[in-house]
Amino acid sequence: MNLNPKQVAEILAEKDNIVILTHFHPDGDTLGSAVALLRALRSMGKKVNFINNDPIHPKYAYLWKGLKKQKFKEQYIVAVDIATEELLGDSLKEQYSGKIELAIDHHPSNTLFAKQTCLEGDSAAAAEIVYYVIKELGVEIDAAIASCIYTGISTDTGCFKFRNTTARTFYIAGIMKDLGADTERINEVMFETKTRGELELERLMLEGMEYYYDNKLAIAVIRQEMYRQTGTTEDECEYIASIPRQVAGVFVGVTIRERKNGMWKASVRTKPPLDASAICMNFGGGGHENAAGCNFDGTLEEFKEKLVKIVGEIPV
Amino acid sequence: MNLNPKQVAEILAEKDNIVILTHFHPDGDTLGSAVALLRALRSMGKKVNFINNDPIHPKYAYLWKGLKKQKFKEQYIVAVDIATEELLGDSLKEQYSGKIELAIDHHPSNTLFAKQTCLEGDSAAAAEIVYYVIKELGVEIDAAIASCIYTGISTDTGCFKFRNTTARTFYIAGIMKDLGADTERINEVMFETKTRGELELERLMLEGMEYYYDNKLAIAVIRQEMYRQTGTTEDECEYIASIPRQVAGVFVGVTIRERKNGMWKASVRTKPPLDASAICMNFGGGGHENAAGCNFDGTLEEFKEKLVKIVGEIPV
């Protein structure tokens, strides 16, 4: 049985000594959701911590400003924005697998690994669901909670640009703004800041961008050497996979990245009517209609040649 | 006396054979506002056209899909999103100066050039005001009108990132989404599309970016030759002035552009507490606290040297 936010609130109201888990490589939604819920539950006098498998990027530090870890014997484990136990990361998975009481999530692919689950696949962000849970808890949403919820919503929608954005997403963002969310600072940190290394990597990537079929296909290649040269890591540069498709006229934008093991990984982004997952299936990969991925263990030249041929055969 | 949207609606309800003027170099807000109002007034059986001084970028064509110019003898002239008669552009100014009956605008700098004005300086976009006018007209907002209003709001706020975004901005965006605005397509066209030339220009700009004082100051230079090489124009590349400040740690981001006459123009963007207009005042320029500009008619080297010295003397 899928719980709704009211039922989640009723359950949480009865619990104490709560630990909230975030997913590995924590992003704005898992962190914003976790800390919003933590702040709300602590304001009710409960003991609550949140924990994570991996180091958190310092840009998120404002979320828990003024908060300290509490000491208590944990009694109730909640997961937010986590679709499978694998996404806990190795160390959290080892510690908590099978022990998670409640999951609050918006991924339709959630495996129902928790004992109870509140899954709303239509929510743009887990933070939308957390907003309704906090409302049902009867807690007053202060500016700090509002900033956490706004962070989850804005980061998971690419600042309201992605397709998951609904009318409700805008309404909740408006309410958070009204309640004091520091949207200006959050937007600047999340969407208007790049490191010098990231900009350098973009430059190197643009330098080598290749276009085929009158711009229908654009291919960018990122080599391990380029991360070293710019002081960046593959993780933090995930966003650059969206650049090739941004070019006017491009229907298939591909970013090929060299793995540490010498293999190649491609991120394929398409515009309708072209199907990214169909392209990636040729290489044993898959994904969504407009965003998919695949791996290749031959040479870069073989990979590109095959890819160019496949895309050439698809009519636009 | 400043009109409110209800009064504007009462006036417009009495008029017919209406011409709506947009500002020169038309953007998403002046066009979205004009066409939303046009569609609403035509649905009441009125004859309405909109006109503009300059060619409109084809990316905006969806706004007036299905509409045709109407033939009538113009009786009532309305300006939307226009702060001064200069911003009409030369040819519209010559034709309409002194003849504009009504201005609907959100620029606090509006010179009250029209016979009557509805000025709401707190609105993120003129389209927000137009939304309230259409509501007061009693017209049902269909998907086409909703897309026009969403276009005005989203483009004037940089997709809800800029400081002018208010809670009301989010609420209206949510209502437009509910009423059928094609936000996915609009976001893709407005915020996820660059020309190949624009990306090339970005690359050349990044190649020459110079950093001073441990990244406190970043300077990029754009020469006329670079526009030629990439097939771009200064106009369409206005957005790149925001790139140098985006770098983490940079407090002053400067884009120096070569003018056609060989002079230099700098766009200065700062992060608090640094004051962009104070920096530009050293060169006889000015602007806002975080975005200002100035001109220089010496050599590029003299310009940079003076600028680097001035910024070096400002404590962060």
| Tokens 């771009």, located at residue | B232
Q: To the nearest 10°, report the CA torsion of B177, B181, B187, B189.
A: 180
CATH number, residue A278 = 3.10.310.30
Residue B243 with chain A: CB contacts under 8 Å: 199
Considering the domain architecture, whether residues A86 and A186 belong to the same structural domain is answered as yes
Q: How many helices (H) and strands (E) would you count in chain A?
A: 12, 11
Considering the domain architecture, whether residues A104 and A211 belong to the same structural domain is answered as no
In order, the DSSP letters of B142-164 are: -HHHHHHHHHHHHHHTTTTTSTT
Residue A166 with chain B: CB contacts under 8 Å: 177
B199 and A CB contact within 8 Å: yes
| Tokens 């992605």, located at residue | A162
Considering the domain architecture, whether residues A207 and A168 belong to the same structural domain is answered as no
Phi, psi of B53 (to 5 degrees): -80, -35
CB atoms A159 and B163 under 8 Å: no
Tell how far CA B233 is from the center of its chain: 17
Considering the domain architecture, whether residues A42 and A117 belong to the same structural domain is answered as yes
- In tens, the pLDDT along B264-288 reads 999 999 998 999 999 999 999 888 8
- In tens, the pLDDT along A67-87 reads 999 999 999 999 999 999 999
Final residue in a domain of this structure, among A156, A191, A226: A191
A169 and B CB contact within 8 Å: yes
Residue in A184, A200, A203 closest to B163 by CB? A184
Q: What is the mean pLDDT of residues B16-26?
A: 95
Strands A286-287 and A291-296 come out as antiparallel
- In tens, the pLDDT along B141-198 reads 999 999 999 999 999 999 999 889 999 999 999 999 999 999 999 999 999 888 899 9
Considering the domain architecture, whether residues A151 and A261 belong to the same structural domain is answered as no
CB atoms A248 and B188 under 8 Å: no
- Are B80 and B130 spatial neighbours (Cβ–Cβ below 8 Å)? yes
Pairwise CA distance, residues A34 & A272, whole Å: 35
A191 and B CB contact within 8 Å: yes
Pairwise CA distance, residues A246 & B189, whole Å: 9
- Output b/e per residue, A183-192; b: 16+ Cβ within 10 A: beebbbbbbe
Phi-psi region of B8 (alpha: psi -120 to 50; beta: other; left: phi over 0): alpha
Residue A200 with chain B: CB contacts under 8 Å: 206
Distance from CA of B70 to the nearest CA of A (A): 33
- Are B37 and B127 spatial neighbours (Cβ–Cβ below 8 Å)? no
CB atoms B161 and A165 under 8 Å: no
Q: What pLDDT is attached to residue A262?
A: 87
Final residue in a domain of this structure, among B162, B191, B220: B191
Pairwise CA distance, residues B316 & A20, whole Å: 39
Considering the domain architecture, whether residues A9 and A150 belong to the same structural domain is answered as yes
Q: What pLDDT is attached to residue A1?
A: 84
Report helix, strand or coil for B69.
Answer: coil
Contacts of B257 (CB under 8 A, 6+ apart): B221, B222, B234, B264, B265, B266, B267
Residues (pLDDT < 70) of chain A are none
Structure tokens at A221: 């290649």
Q: Taking the model in full, what pTM does it have?
A: 0.89
| DSSP summary character for residue B55 | P
Q: What pLDDT is attached to residue B235?
A: 73
A11, burial (CB in 10 Å: exposed 0-12, middle 13-18, buried 19+): middle
Q: What pLDDT is attached to residue B163?
A: 85
Pairwise CA distance, residues B44 & B37, whole Å: 11
Residue A231 with chain B: CB contacts under 8 Å: none
pLDDT of residue B240 exceeding 90, the answer is no
Structure tokens at B37: 């109002």
- Are A230 and A201 spatial neighbours (Cβ–Cβ below 8 Å)? yes
Pairwise CA distance, residues B284 & B107, whole Å: 24
Contacts of A127 (CB under 8 A, 6+ apart): A29, A32, A33, A36, A148, A149, A150, A151, A152, A153, A156
Contacts of A113 (CB under 8 A, 6+ apart): A84, A85, A100, A103
CB atoms A171 and B169 under 8 Å: no
B202 and A CB contact within 8 Å: yes
Final residue in a domain of this structure, among A191, A208, A226: A191
The angle, 0 to 180 degrees and rounded to 10, between the axes of the packed helices A143-156 and A28-43 is: 160
User: How many Cβ atoms are within 10 Å of B90's Cβ, its own excluded?
Assistant: 11
Nearest to A280 by CA among A236, A247, A240, A314: A314
CATH number, residue B141 = 3.90.1640.10
- Mean per-residue pLDDT of chain B: 94
Considering the domain architecture, whether residues B254 and B287 belong to the same structural domain is answered as yes
Considering the domain architecture, whether residues A202 and A156 belong to the same structural domain is answered as no
Structure tokens at B51: 């006109």
Structure tokens at A75: 């009694």
Query: How many domains, in total, are found in chain A?
Result: 2
Considering the domain architecture, whether residues A48 and A179 belong to the same structural domain is answered as yes
Pairwise CA distance, residues A173 & A160, whole Å: 10
Considering the domain architecture, whether residues A264 and A153 belong to the same structural domain is answered as no
Pairwise CA distance, residues A284 & A294, whole Å: 7
Mutate to test the interface with A, among B177, B207, B240, B289 (most CBs of A within 10 A): B177
Full residue range of the structural domain in which residue A218 is found: 196-312
B157 and A CB contact within 8 Å: no
Angle at CA of residue A204, ends B301 and A187, nearest 5°: 80
Q: What is the mean pLDDT of residues B94-122?
A: 96
Residues 113-132 of A with CB under 8 A from B: none
A154, burial (CB in 10 Å: exposed 0-12, middle 13-18, buried 19+): buried
| DSSP summary character for residue B2 | B
CB atoms A195 and B247 under 8 Å: yes
Q: To the nearest 10°, report the CA torsion of A230, B268, A186, A108.
A: -60
Distance from CA of B189 to the nearest CA of A (A): 9
| DSSP summary character for residue A65 | T
Q: What pLDDT is attached to residue A162?
A: 87
Q: To the nearest 10°, report the CA torsion of B176, B178, B179, B184.
A: 70
Considering the domain architecture, whether residues A261 and A160 belong to the same structural domain is answered as no
Report helix, strand or coil for B267.
Answer: strand
Amino acid at A266: A
CB atoms B192 and A249 under 8 Å: no
A57 and B CB contact within 8 Å: no
Nearest to A184 by CA among B169, B2, B144, B139: B169
Residue in chain B lying closest to A185 (CA)? B163
Report helix, strand or coil for B170.
Answer: helix
Q: What pLDDT is attached to residue B291?
A: 86
Residue in B160, B207, B246 closest to A159 by CB? B160
B204 and A CB contact within 8 Å: no
Considering the domain architecture, whether residues B93 and B45 belong to the same structural domain is answered as yes
Residue in chain B lying closest to A272 (CA)? B185
pLDDT of residue B237 exceeding 80, the answer is no
| Tokens 């660059």, located at residue | B194
Pairwise CA distance, residues B226 & B217, whole Å: 23
Q: What pLDDT is attached to residue B262?
A: 87
Q: What is the mean pLDDT of residues B297-303?
A: 95
A207 and B CB contact within 8 Å: yes
User: How many Cβ atoms are within 10 Å of B98's Cβ, its own excluded?
Assistant: 9
